[in-house]
Amino acid sequence: MTKPVPAPPRAPRRRPRGGAWARYARALRTPRGITATVLLLVLVALALLAPVLWPGGYDEQTRDALAPPSAEHWLGTDEFGRDILTRTIYGLRTDLSLILTAVPVSLVIGTLLGLSGYLSSWFGSLMQRVLDIILGFPGLILGIIIVLVIGPGWTALFFAIVIAGLPGFGRLARGGLLSEQQREYVLAARTLGVNKSTVMVRHILPNVVDPLLVQASIYMVVAIFIEAGLSIVGLGINPPKPSLGAMLNVGARYVETLPSYVLGPGAVLLLLALAFTLLSDALNQAATRR
Amino acid sequence: MTIHSQEAYQPVPDSEDSSVLLDVRGLRTQFDTADGVVRAVNDVTFAVRPGQILGIVGESGSGKSVTARSILRMVRPPGRTTAGEVVYRGQDLLALSEKEMRELRGREIAMVFQDPQSALNPVMTVGDQIAEALIVHGVNKNKARERARELLGQVGIPDVDRRLDDYPHQFSGGMRQRVVIAVALASSPSLLIADEPTTALDVTIQAQILGLLGKLRDELGIAVIMITHDMGVVAEMCDEVVVMYGGRVMEHGPVEVIFEHPELPYTADLLAAMPRIDEHSAGRRLPSIPGAPPDPAHLPTGCPFHPRCRLSESICEQEVPALLPRSDPRHLAACHVTQRGVEIPPLVPAAASAGARRGRDSAPLLEITDLRVDVAADRRGLLRRPEPIYAVDRVSLTVSSGETLGLVGESGCGKSTLARAIVGINHPASGTIRVGDHLVGSKEQAGAKALRETVQYVFQDPYASLNPRRTIRQSLEEALAVRGVPAAERATEAVALLERVGLHERHLDRYPYAFSGGQRQRVGIARALAARPKLLVCDEPVSALDVSIQAQIINLLESLRDEFNLGYLFIAHDLSVVRHLSDRVAVMYLGAFVEYGDAEAVYNSPQHPYTAALLASSPIPDTAERTRERIVLGGDLPSPKNPPSGCRFRTRCPIGPLAHPERTICIEQPPPLAPTSTGQVAACHFAGELARVGAVV
The closest of A128, A285, A117 to A213, measured between CA atoms, is A285
Mutate which of B469, B490, B536 to test chain A, going by most A C-beta atoms within 10 A?
A: B469
Instruction: Give me the mean pLDDT over the A264-280 stretch.
Output: 87
pLDDT at B371: 92
Asked if the Cβ–Cβ distance from A193 to B559 is below 8 Å, we say no
pLDDT at B642 over 50: yes
| Residue range A111-123, pLDDT digits in tens | 999 999 888 878 8
The closest of A203, A200, A189 to B531, measured between CA atoms, is A189
| Residue range B101-155, pLDDT digits in tens | 888 888 889 888 877 778 888 888 888 888 888 888 788 888 888 889 888 888 8
Asked if the Cβ–Cβ distance from B298 to A194 is below 8 Å, we say no
Number of CB pairs, chain A paired with chain B, less than 8 A apart: 137
Opening angle at CA A172, ends A168 and A177, nearest 5: 150
Asked if the Cβ–Cβ distance from A206 to B482 is below 8 Å, we say no
pLDDT at A289 over 70: no
Could you say which of B457, B459, B502 has the minimum Cβ distance to residue A2? B502
pLDDT at B477: 92
Share above pLDDT 90 across residues of chain A, in percent, rounded to a whole number:
18
Could you say which of B291, B353, B423 has the minimum Cβ distance to residue A1? B353
The closest of B451, B385, B693 to A192, measured between CA atoms, is B451
- Cβ-Cβ contacts under 8 Å for B316 (sequence gap 6 or more): B302, B303, B306, B309, B336, B337
pLDDT at B413 over 70: yes
- Cβ-Cβ contacts under 8 Å for B85 (sequence gap 6 or more): B23, B24, B25, B26, B27, B92, B94
Distance in angstroms (rounded) separating the CA atoms of residues B581 and B406: 8
| Angstroms from A16 CA to nearest CA on chain B | 10
Q: Is A140 in a helix, a strand, or coil?
A: helix
The closest of B696, B427, B433, B440 to B576, measured between CA atoms, is B696
| Residue range A201-247, pLDDT digits in tens | 888 988 888 889 888 888 988 888 888 888 877 787 877 788 888 88
Q: Is B256 in a helix, a strand, or coil?
A: helix
Q: Please, are residues B226 and B56 in contact by the beta-carbon 8 Å criterion?
A: yes
pLDDT band per the 50, 70, 90 thresholds, residue B404: very high
pLDDT at B169 over 60: yes
| Residue range B299-348, pLDDT digits in tens | 888 899 999 898 888 889 888 898 888 888 889 999 998 888 888 888 87
Q: Which chain A positions have a beta carbon within 8 Å of B513's beta carbon?
A: 13, 15
Give this prediction's pTM: 0.81
Highest mean pLDDT among B10-14, B339-343, B439-443: B339-343
Write the secondary structure of B510-564 as one string of H (helix), E (strand) and C (coil). CCHHHCCHHHHHHHHHHHHHHCCCCEEEEECCCCCCCHHHHHHHHHHHHHHHHHH
| Residue range A66-106, pLDDT digits in tens | 777 777 777 878 788 888 888 888 989 888 999 899 999 99
Instruction: Give me the mean pLDDT over the B389-417 stretch.
Output: 89
Order of strands across the sheet that contains B592-598: B455-458, B535-539, B567-572, B404-408, B584-589, B592-598, B681-682, B674-675
pLDDT at A49 over 80: yes
Domain boundaries, chain A: 21-55+75-288
Of the candidate ranges A48-62, B131-145, B349-363, the one whose mean pLDDT is the lowest? B349-363
Of the candidate ranges A11-20, B287-296, B523-532, the one whose mean pLDDT is the lowest? A11-20
DSSP assignment of B129-165 equals HHHHHHHTTT--HHHHHHHHHHHHHHTT-SSHHHHTT
Distance in angstroms (rounded) separating the CA atoms of residues B284 and B280: 10
* B485 interfaces chain A, CB cutoff of 8 Å: no
The closest of B487, B548, B386, B486 to B59, measured between CA atoms, is B548
Q: Is B384 in a helix, a strand, or coil?
A: coil
Distance in angstroms (rounded) separating the CA atoms of residues B628 and B236: 10
Q: Under CATH, domain A21-55+75-288 is a member of which superfamily?
A: MetI-like (1.10.3720.10)
pLDDT band per the 50, 70, 90 thresholds, residue B588: very high
